[in-house]
Amino acid sequence: MFCPKCGSVLFPKKEKGKKVFRCSCGYSDKKMQAPSFKEEVKPKEEIPIVEKEVVPLPLIDIECPKCGHKKAYYWTVQTRASDEPETRFYKCEKCSHTWRDYS
């Protein structure tokens, strides 16, 4: 419970054999009521199921060495020293074969 005057927390104290809520500003509440808590449980939202794998990578024209398909996704990673070029990885759009190019 909070003080209606200053907003501080009211603490239980004993005055003349009775329990009262008292604030540091001097306010006291003679009606000693046990605090009650209410909990509201909201139903869970359903998570949508994605049937198809979504690939957020750029698509370029390059031939897959495994199936010969002409399109592949690519990304780059710095696998060697920083003064050397980064490694480019490719993933075939059709068969998902992954290969790399060091140039």
Q: What is d(CA 81, CA 102) in angstroms, rounded to the nearest whole number?
A: 13
- Of 63, 84, 86, 101, the active-site residue reads 84
84 burial (CB, 10 Å; 0-12 / 13-18 / 19+) is exposed
Neighbours of 23 (CB within 10 A): 20
Rounded to the nearest 5 degrees, what angle is found at the Cα of 100, between the Cα atoms of 96 and 101? 140
Active-site residue (options: 83, 86, 93, 101): 83
29 flagged as catalytic: no
Active site residue 101: no
Q: What is the CA radius of gyration of the chain?
A: 34
Known catalytic residues are: 83-84
